Structure 1
């Protein structure tokens, strides 16, 4: 599965995209802890989730891209062979 991050310039926007496209629960809020809980225990994730066109998000939200990169690394360990990747 591929999610295009074109036009995503805020933490709230990326979390809304995740909620809509990955089928997160209605209560899901814009936090990395909620994202982690959702991808490892609540929704059935695809074998590979590729996030494309993420550079604009990285420029606008440098701290959040760092957190996302750490989440991606942790997910690779915790959920192997499933993976999330920046493409």
Structure 2
């Protein structure tokens, strides 16, 4: 599965995209803890989730991009062979 992050320039926008495209619960809010809980235990994630055109998000939200990179690393350890990759 591929998610295109073109035009995503805020933490709220990336979390809304995740909620809509990955089928997160209605209670899901814009938090990295909620994202982690959702991808680990609540939704069935695809074998590989590729995030494309992420550079604008990284430029606009460097702290959140750093957190996302850490989540990606932790996810690979916790959920192997499933992966989230930056494409």
**Fold agreement, TM-score > 0.5:** yes
TM-score, normalisation: structure 1:
1.00
Structure 1: where are the runs of 5+ without partners?
none
Cα deviation, 1:39-63, whole Å, max 9, x if unaligned, reads 0000000000000000000000000
Tell me the C-alpha RMSD between the 2 structures.
0.2
Unaligned runs of 5+ in 2: none
Report the number of matched residues: 87
Instruction: Please give the residue correspondences for 1:1-87 in structure 2 after superposition, counting only pairs within 5 Å.
Output: 1-87=1-87
Hey, which bits of structure 1, 4+ residues long, moved more than 4 A? none
Query: Taking structure 2 as the reference length, what is the TM-score of the superposition?
Result: 1.00
